[in-house]
Structure 1
């Protein structure tokens, strides 16, 4: 077992070494062979004219180390990325943005699993992404799927992504998150889920996350959050601005508030009526529940037993 572990370490070292050597050696293929793409010491860039057939041919051209620091694929008419379309090339950063891309197939990035650090798929038309492969991307720290057409986040999508710190899922069409989708993440710093179509947050969706993190759920239609959604986690900031919450459930938020979390909640239709729903808030500082305002216009500091309907 120890020998196998040592061999794994050596293999990973050689992969990283080969990529860095490529950067120093300026090991670009002949320009004619990779048209319409362009290669330099920073990596490979493909703008405007790239088709799926072109892309496959570009990555069939071998270079000495078969590696790039970054690959930019921007504003092209490609519709999908098929399995192993990058032909085993090792790439630190994929920036595949503003294309007509609809589908990312399984094994698309297989040659780069151990070394990808950043993946941006900003502003495509992606409706399917193989979330189950994130656990294989053992160095991935940043993932952006902002401004696509995703509709759901499956169970355990991010739970096994070992180094992932920043996740951007803003401006999709996400209407459901499966229970445990982000459960147990080890290095998370920020999740952006604003401007989607969420109506509820299920059990353990963000449970047992092992670091302090910020989460932005603003601009959805959220009216229900399961009491275990943030169980055993340490959210520093939870933004729920511009949703459909009529009260802040103490079963959800009392513990986060007690450990120092900040809630950001303007733009919700808070009724400010109901002793069991609102009494716990009377002792909470407005700095911890920012932007709170009742539908009647009352601020948090103006709530009292009488006007929330507590009977003596």
Structure 2
């Protein structure tokens, strides 16, 4: 009995050592890897590491020198739920930046970079995405269709960018709970009027009721009264002719 127990214990130890070696072999140089997490912060990385275990759930690449996210750089990492890319120098996202099977990704942090433009298809593969953080960038335009098919989105952060107008995609996101657009040079045009209508009136394009209103924060330059917060806006503040 004792010998059998010792033999089983020996096999368990061998398995543990083998697993540890495998885990380390898929851990990028100078990164910390633990509990299906890869953390590579403050390493002056200029590109996303390639040798990442395909069972990782969280990858943290904050505080590096990343300048772009090329196509398919996360391809095959189907278990990832959270990606931290904030506080880098990212200027561009390729249209296929998140292509390649990120079917479980729920949260992406891209704040505090230098992004100016987002291709329409960049986020479309992320069908289970719930939160996206794009604050403190240089984004001048959100093109129509960028978020429209991401029906599980509950939080979008775009504050402190350079947006002067916005698409009407947001009103199609039935699960959206928070939309942060403050600190942008928005004009009170038809796009903002659409948000004001859907998110401050007691209506919904889905079921004619709104039990849990989306929290929208923004200000825009009104037609006659200077810059006003969303909650202060009235119909006469908009430079928008719905019939045109």
State the TM-score, normalized to the length of structure 1.
0.56
Which residue number corresponds to residue 46 of structure 2?
A: 79
Which residue number corresponds to residue 258 of structure 1?
A: 202
Cα deviation 1:145-180 (Å, max 9, x = unaligned): 011111112224334421100100011111111111
Which residue number corresponds to residue 7 of structure 1?
A: none
SS in structure 1 of the partner of residue 61 of structure 2: strand
SS in structure 1 of the partner of residue 83 of structure 2: strand
SS in structure 2 of the partner of residue 28 of structure 1: helix
Q: Deviation at 1:140?
A: 0.2
Q: 1:119 aligns with which of 69, 73, 83?
A: 83
Q: 2:60 aligns with which of 74, 95, 101?
A: 95
Q: 2:20 aligns with which of 14, 28, 40?
A: 28
SS in structure 1 of the partner of residue 92 of structure 2: coil
**Count, aligned residues:** 207
Which residue number corresponds to residue 118 of structure 2?
A: 153
Cα deviation 1:212-262 (Å, max 9, x = unaligned): 3311011111115544xxxxxxxxxxxxxxxxxxxx63x553243232446
SS in structure 2 of the partner of residue 258 of structure 1: coil
Which residue number corresponds to residue 12 of structure 2?
A: none
SS in structure 2 of the partner of residue 254 of structure 1: helix
Q: Is the 1:72–1:95 Cα contact (8 Å) retained in structure 2?
A: yes
Q: Deviation at 1:87?
A: 5.9
In structure 2, how many angstroms separate the alpha carbons of the residues matched to 1:71 and 1:221?
Answer: 37
In structure 1, how many angstroms separate the alpha carbons of the residues matched to 2:97 and 2:23?
Answer: 33
Give the RMSD, CA atoms, in angstroms: 3.5
Tell me which protein shows more strand as a share of its residues.
Answer: 1
Structure with the greater relative contact order (CA < 8 A, sep ≥ 6): 1 or 2? Answer: 2
Bigger mean CA offset, 153-162 vs 117-126: 153-162
Which residue number corresponds to residue 59 of structure 1?
A: none
Unaligned 5+ segments in structure 2 are 1-14, 204-209, 237-244
- Find out whether 1:218 has 2:182 as its counterpart: yes
Unaligned 5+ segments in structure 1 are 1-23, 44-68, 228-247, 274-285, 294-299, 305-312
Which residue number corresponds to residue 104 of structure 1?
A: 69
- Find out whether 1:200 has 2:143 as its counterpart: no
